[in-house]
Amino acid sequence: MSSSKTGIGNRNTRQAYAQAVMRFMNWCDDRNLELADITLFTVTAYADEMTRE
């Protein structure tokens, strides 16, 4: 994805963000959560779990 579409000029930053999103989506998939199921509670639970690792 080009920086003109994302607004993020640094390629490494875009890659890091993409990896973070994939980790989150994999975490959701492991819990059988669909995109429509994700709430603030879901994101908070994910962040809490990542903090413990």
Nearest alpha carbon to residue 18 among 32, 33, 5: 5
Q: How far apart are CA 26 and CA 22, in angstroms?
A: 6
Over the stretch 2-52, which tens digit does the pLDDT of each residue have?
555 667 788 899 999 999 999 999 999 999 999 999 999 999 999 999 999
Give me 27's structure tokens: 């975490």
Q: Would you say how long the chain is, in residues?
A: 53
> Is the pLDDT assigned to residue 1 strictly greater than 60?
no
CA 39, chain centre distance (Å) = 13
> Is the pLDDT assigned to residue 53 strictly greater than 90?
no
pLDDT value of residue 16: 95
- The domains of the chain are located at 3-52
